[in-house]
Chain A
Amino acid sequence: MTWLESIYLWNIGKGMLITIKHFFKKKATIQYPEQKRTFSQVFRGLHVLNRDEEGRERCTACGLCAVACPAEAITMEAAERQKGEENLYREEKYAAKYEINMLRCIFCGYCEEACPKDAIYLSQTFAPANYGRQGFIYKKDDLLIPDPVKDPEGYKKALGERAKA
């Protein structure tokens, strides 16, 4: 180290030149709640239970998603469709209870691949915050997509770009 180097001034000056250049650079920040980063087409977010065009639930409670799930996050109970419920459920059997524990889920998308009825798919919204662990166990109400007949706009919004409608 020469004497000039040993008082650091020259090198500090060089460093400061670099930082001041960054001062005028374009900022990388995305203003989160207003602006959102666009996800890629293959992004796997929260699950959605889909309905068909007439607003009937597609799920037939076969349990293949629960079997496929490596994290064992999915629980369901099947029930038989009664007379007069044909406008609610597409198949003769439906899921009376359908829960996904979002704390266990690893968002691998195997449930989506396993589903023979295209009833479940991963949307582009990601897991929100919650105050308690109970809140992360998503019930059927949380997962089910809005009815396309009664609420076409909500349905479209929830469907996103990834659904194989």
Chain B
Amino acid sequence: MLLTIFWLVIEKLLLIGLIVSLSMVVAMYATYAERKVAAFLQDRIGPNRAGIFGLLQPLADGGKLFFKEEIIPLASSKFLFILGPCLAMITALLTSAVIPWSTPLHLFGQDVPLQVADINIGILFIFGVVSLGVYGIMIGGWASNNKFSLLAAVRGASQMVSYELPMGLALLGLLLLVGDLRMSVIVQNQIEHGWHIIYQPLGFIVFFICALAECNRTPFDLAEAENELNFGYHQEYSSMKLGFYLFAEYINMFISGVVMSCLFFGGYDIPFVNEASWGISQNALAIIGFLVMLTKAFFFVFVFMWIRWTIPRFRYDQLMNLGWKKLVPLALFNMIVTAAVILWLKK
């Protein structure tokens, strides 16, 4: 008994380590991808000097951030000032805990699920952790003791709180379809009945827009609006503390791509084929599923960047109008229609 618990702990620790480092590497290269995508969309080439195709650029950037001078403003409250970026980073990494990355691996005569925790409130857990992300911004902006940071933090917080509402409502239709909050069940349901995007296109659009807002990405990057609030809530931050904030943003982006592919695009499912009938080993299937999942997530990350380099920032009143007057009614409409159709079909 004790031994099985011991092995379980080891297994989960390894998996956590793997996922965290994966998120880190993806975030690192997301900065590179961001610059490349930006360049390509603007008829430029982008970083190409460090290593072939500039592939070592993220390392150079990271190294630079580490060696920058660490400045903690005298007027700031030191503990909270340091806590801010830590919280942002922790919450960004926590969300990946309930993601079903792929079908189970078969190692040492037993199935190893590629999911850290298959808790029965999976999607609620994600929502909870994402809302905690506000504290990273709030505490960081407030502790800086700088009016620009504070303004940005207030903006960011109100934006995230406003957009969580339509985000949750948009998902209700999907949850009515599945009837379960477990992430693994949501993915399994799509493998059996087809991707949720077919049943919930409106829900997906609302969810996608809200995800953009939750990640503080353009066109909703009011929290760091460079030209009006200098650098937003991380203005007073330097060195790796700033790096943490920026990193957390990219991790959030990656995770929200993963969450979207889990919820609406079948997770690790390959469309139009029944991969179980290929007759290849369980481990190979798991790895293929994992790669499929990553591909979908990267596609969403690309779309995020594509949007960022296409449209300008929303004005604050436009942001609030869109959130409360457009997206909330749309999400409610979607929920009611879904509920009515399900009732009608059941009768």
Q: Which residues of A contact B (CB under 8 A)?
A: 6-9, 12, 15-16, 18-20, 22-23, 25-29, 31
Contacts and interface: CB of A to CB of B under 8 A. Distances in A.
A43 to B, nearest CB: 25
B41 to A, nearest CB: 5
B322 A7 contact: yes
B347 interface: no
Interface string B39-51: 0111111000000
Contacts of B327: 7
Contacts of B37: 23
B306 A20 contact: yes
Interface residues of B, number: 17
Interface of B: 37, 40-45, 205, 306-307, 309-311, 322, 326-327, 330
Contacts of B40: 22-23, 27
A15 B310 contact: yes
A29 B307 contact: no
A12 B322 contact: no
B45 A19 contact: no
Tell me whether chain B's interface is mostly helix, strand or loop, or mixed.
helix
User: Which of A15, A19, A26 has the most chain B CB atoms closer than 10 A to its own CB?
Assistant: A19
Contact of B43 (A9, A15, A20, A27): A27
A17 to B, nearest CB: 9
A8 B309 contact: no
Contacts of A9: 205
B307 A22 contact: no
A93 to B, nearest CB: 50
Contacts of A25: 43
Given A8-B322, A9-B205, A16 B43 contact: no
A27 B44 contact: yes
B44 A28 contact: yes
Given A20-B306, A29-B44, A15 B311 contact: yes
Contacts of A31: 45
B15 to A, nearest CB: 36
Nearest to A13: B310
A12 B43 contact: no
B310 A23 contact: no
A111 to B, nearest CB: 38
A27 B37 CA distance: 13
Nearest to B314: A8
B211 to A, nearest CB: 15
B310 A19 contact: yes
17 contacts: A7-B326, A7-B327, A12-B307, A12-B310, A12-B311, A15-B311, A18-B310, A19-B41, A19-B306, A20-B306, A22-B40, A22-B41, A22-B42, A22-B43, A23-B41, A27-B44, A27-B45
Contacts of A22: 40-43
A6 B329 CA distance: 13
A31 to B, nearest CB: 8
A155 B111 CA distance: 76
A64 to B, nearest CB: 46
A127 B62 CA distance: 34
Given A12-B310, A23-B40, 10 more contacts: A6-B326, A7-B326, A7-B330, A9-B205, A12-B307, A16-B306, A19-B309, A26-B43, A27-B45, A28-B44
Contacts of A26: 43
Contacts of A8: 322
A119 B307 CA distance: 58
Nearest to B312: A15
Nearest first, the 5 A-B pairs at minimum CB distance are A19-B310, A29-B45, A19-B41, A7-B326, A15-B310
A41 B219 CA distance: 46
A16 B322 contact: no
Nearest to A7: B326
A126 to B, nearest CB: 22
Contacts of B41: 19-20, 22-23
Contacts of B309: 19
Nearest to A12: B311
A18 to B, nearest CB: 8
A29 B49 CA distance: 13
Nearest to B40: A23
A16 B303 CA distance: 10
Contacts of A23: 37, 40-41
A152 to B, nearest CB: 35
